[in-house]
Amino acid sequence: MSTRRMGGNAGNLLYGNGVARTLASSANDLRFGAYTVYREPDLVAEAARINENYDHFVIPMANSFRASYGKQLTQFTELIKMLDIPVTLVGVGAQATADSMDNEDFRMSRTGRLWTPDQSKADKHNATVRAFCEAILERSSEIGVRGAFTKAYLESVGIPAESVRVIGCPSVYTWGPGLQIQNRTRKLNRFSRVSMNIDYRVANIDRVIAANMEAYPRLTSPSQDAASARMILTGKDQYDLEKVNLGTPVHTGHPMYAKRSVLYYSNPWGWIESFKNIDFTFGARLHGNIASILGGTPAHLLAHDSRTTELADFHGIPYTRYDKDAAPVLAGDLVEKTDYTQFNTLMQDGFDNFIEFLHANNLTTIYDTDRGEAPAFDAGIAAGKKIGAERPASQSRYVRWIERKAKINSGAPNN
């Protein structure tokens, strides 16, 4: 079930829960939805239910202004137009190729691809985004976006600059303004515990994986996409092997699967907690790196598109612009140029700006009423921390449960 409720990617759990913890004030009665509210078969009935039961509708979003998300945005727009209560959009981002940030080409693209739509499709998408934002702004004072690129994109489609505030990713503020990351100057060696977060869609990332597997035999990789998670739980391939890069650990034939070094965390808190046992983290997954930061371990982003780059710029997260044609980068090279001084310096002002945004939208936080504490919410965090990683199928609790259930149903002894 956990793989079906993460919105396709475990990173969604980080920013969603970051917003939720911030709003878990004793003055609020929080209720949580999943990532499929726009799929309700009867949007009229869903809007009526929301209007009747809630005073405020908060939408944490990630890279939703992308070429492949137009249908969902249209459905969200229809729902929002029927709401009579305030609506706040938190942390939304645009998604384009990395070079778009240099030449101001605002055509939204796919993750890990160079594909962008032709002009007519781009115009249609831009109109969809504008309609969505206008519906939000009829019920909100400001839209909170991930970075400067997204703000510039929204201005390009006609959204007033004064209606858009850059707030970064709310996941970074999960623990409040006090998070500080200590730089680690120790060099990595073959015994170092290195975590690599892998986006299988990034071109030539298999070369980086292979090089780091060789250099760091204890390399592990938490799998964020839902299909890879199901592969780990069931021992069965989930992707069409004709269409994926077989040099990435998204199939059961990959060496990392055989070594049981691909992992799945069913909740964000166990995932974050795991980084306390890691020396260094790197990779192309934004929230894979943020999870490490929240666990106190330095991370280095391989920035490969606008959505990752703009957030790293805003928060001061160390990053290297990924070059698919360059020699494969090693974690040891990255750790030597990973400096969290800017991140630590920016934390307080970024947090204050985030809270000001929530206040501008008439939202009450734990920092207003509870001295930054969220006892009930944090009890869930404490429980989640105790749930460790699932590893590939031979030791999967899910597979053992299925096998035991099959034996019971067949009448065989359950030893």
Would 414 be classed as within a structural domain? no
In tens digits, what is the pLDDT along the chain, a chain of 415 residues?
467 667 778 888 999 999 999 999 999 999 987 667 667 789 999 999 999 999 999 999 988 898 888 899 999 999 999 999 999 999 999 887 766 666 666 767 655 555 567 788 888 889 999 999 999 999 999 999 999 999 999 999 999 999 999 999 999 999 999 999 999 767 999 999 999 999 999 999 999 999 999 999 999 999 999 999 999 999 999 999 999 999 999 999 999 999 999 999 999 999 999 999 999 999 999 999 999 999 999 999 999 988 899 999 999 999 999 999 999 999 999 999 999 999 999 999 999 999 999 999 999 999 999 999 999 999 999 999 999 999 997 655 555 666 677 777 776 655 5
Q: How many domains does the chain have?
A: 2
Q: Could you tell me the end-to-end alpha-carbon distance of the chain, in angstroms, rounded to an integer?
A: 26
- pTM for this prediction: 0.91
- 317, 301 contact by CB (below 8 A): yes
Question: Does the residue 260 lie in any domain?
Answer: yes
Residue 399 within a domain: no
260 shares its domain with 141: no
Do the domain assignments include residue 321? yes
Task: Please tell me the distance from the alpha carbon of residue 415 to that of residue 398, in angstroms, as a whole number.
Answer: 17
Find the domain containing 249 and state its range: 194-343+379-393
Residue closest to 169 by CA, chosen among 338, 389, 343, 363? 343
Q: Do 284 and 151 fall into the same domain?
A: no
Q: What angle do CA 112, 117, 122 make, to 5 degrees?
A: 120
Answer yes or no: do 158 and 26 share one domain.
Answer: yes
